[in-house]
Amino acid sequence: MDGVASVGRNCGTMHSIKAVLEQLGKSGLEVEYTRERARPGKVPVLTKVYQGFGGLANSHKDFAFGTFLLLYYSQIQGLPASWVSAVIAVSLVIDAVSDPVIGSVSDNFKSRWGRRHPFMIFAAVPFGLCLGALFFPPTEMGDGIMLAWLAFFTIATRLAYTFYFVPWNAVAAEFSEDYVERTSIITYRYLVGWIGGVIFFIFTFQVLFPNTEEFPAGQLNPMHYPTFGLIAGGLIIAWSLLSALGTLREVPYLLQPVKETPTFSFKRSISEVLLALKSRNFRLLFVIFLMFSGLAGVGGVFDIYMNTYFWGLTSTELQYFVLSGFGALASFASVPFLQKTVDKHTLLLTFLSAFMTLAILKVCLRFWGILPENGETMLLVFLVCHGIVMTYLLTTCGIMVGSLIADLVDEQELETGLRQEGVFASAISFASKATSSVGILIGGILLDTVIAFPRQAEFGSVDDDTLFLLALNDGVIIPALFFIPIFLITRMNVSRARLAEIQAALGRGDNDSSKPDAVTQ
């Protein structure tokens, strides 16, 4: 009876979505995709590694933006934190709007290099150059010019990143149709990103920002930021090109439209995003990302302030947080075993709940007087161990989300006849960036108004009341709000059995290379 009910629900959904498609002037039932060749066996490990190099470019960008950009322009260059946060927020909104456009274009793009790779290849150089320019502001020309410089190159970096990241993220869903191997692909992506990110983290604080007598917290030394920009930008170009060119050989195994695709239009892009949001599971995941990214955006503003001023960590001590990479390694090692018995959304629910609990506990232990004082070795040990566990939890959550998106693409294909890897990836990216921008803006406003954090503050000079407000917001109020996305995860229905049912209906449930190459809806 369950199978009959499921078929009935699917038929009802198909009629509803077909009506929407016809109202929008498109018929998803006419779309046909094909592979030039059937894959003989599993996705090669080398392909997974090459795909992971794109995660390194993303890791360097996140490190530069999340750790240094606000600190550099507010605490070192002297711009108000709310100004800098507003610029970053606006750039994220512009970036977010561009995501569905690029996702739609790449979904419908057709070339001998496939749907995704041309965008990845041609975006690599502008991506790295624009990020590097952020750390070469015209400091002698006044705050207005410097703010304009920040705005232009922040927007340019994010747009170039979108042209690279959305196709790179979407192509991961095309490599395999297997429930477990999709998780393996995402795991390699995180593994490569983490290993390279850890090495870059050590290099940054050990070589570029060492502690000195003049700057006991090396991250407050303005002299080394241009060098950081040059190196980060150069590495982004290298990793982006290596990932794109290294996976170019996989194009014959990827799905492409058989017929000529429609010309691009904004109306079409919006229609495709709205169609994607007709999926209940994807709509829930979209809202979860809206909430998660907004909260993470606020917390991200506070992170470097908390580490530098609340916990009193120097750049030498910050280097030990590289050990949090062991949490990522533990995730990579345990996910394959967890996946054998536990569904992805259940893992996501469990691990995000633990993440919220431990985030609140960390600061509360200081409020309760349980943790050692700043400067004591045992405090650093606790913070590093806490970071390892939190990294384990968050990395596992990220792997589950990346793998879930690939499963939801199959569900969408069954219901609409369209494969929307790019639209799904871009919609999630949109949700992440749009609300993250609001979170960053709120974080900057909180720093300037509610917390009243002083600008260009010297290491160890901030009063206790200000530090308490900083910790209360970052360590208690913001993490407690993660309860909302956690609740929404409980409403999802994306199980292993459900995916098997979907892929059986699509006629390719076992990922057998003997099946026909063409997939017609």
Enumerate residue ranges in the chain where pLDDT < 70. 1-36, 179, 255, 257-270, 420-422, 426, 431-437, 508-521
Per-residue confidence (pLDDT) for residue 17, from 0 to 100:
46
pTM of the model: 0.62
Q: State pLDDT tens for residues 274-327.
A: 777 777 888 888 888 778 877 877 777 788 788 888 998 887 788 788 788 788
Residue with tokens 């209360």: 472
Alpha carbon of 27 to those of 18, 435, 503: distances in Å? Answer: 7, 32, 22
Give the start-end residues of each E strand in 439-514. Answer: none
- Asked whether the beta carbons of 251 and 448 are under 8 A apart, the reply is no
- Asked whether the beta carbons of 68 and 219 are under 8 A apart, the reply is yes
CATH, domain range 40-508: 1.20.1250.20
- Return mean pLDDT, the chain: 79
Per-residue confidence (pLDDT) for residue 144, from 0 to 100:
85
Domain edges within the chain: 40-508
Per-residue confidence (pLDDT) for residue 214, from 0 to 100:
79
Number of Cβ atoms within 10 Å of the Cβ of 433? 26
Of 467, 334, 316, nearest to 377 (Cα)?
316
Per-residue confidence (pLDDT) for residue 516, from 0 to 100:
38
Per-residue confidence (pLDDT) for residue 35, from 0 to 100:
67
Distance, CA of 46 to CA of 44 (rounded, Å) = 5
Cα dihedral value 107, 110, 111, 112, nearest 10: 90
- Asked whether the beta carbons of 95 and 87 are under 8 A apart, the reply is no
CA atoms within 13 Å, Cβ hemisphere of 452: 4
Distance, CA of 197 to CA of 205 (rounded, Å) = 12
What's 355-404 look like in SS3?
A: HHHHHHHHHHHHHCCCCCCCCCHHHHHHHHHHHHHHHHHHHHHHHHHHHH
Distance, CA of 182 to CA of 407 (rounded, Å) = 9
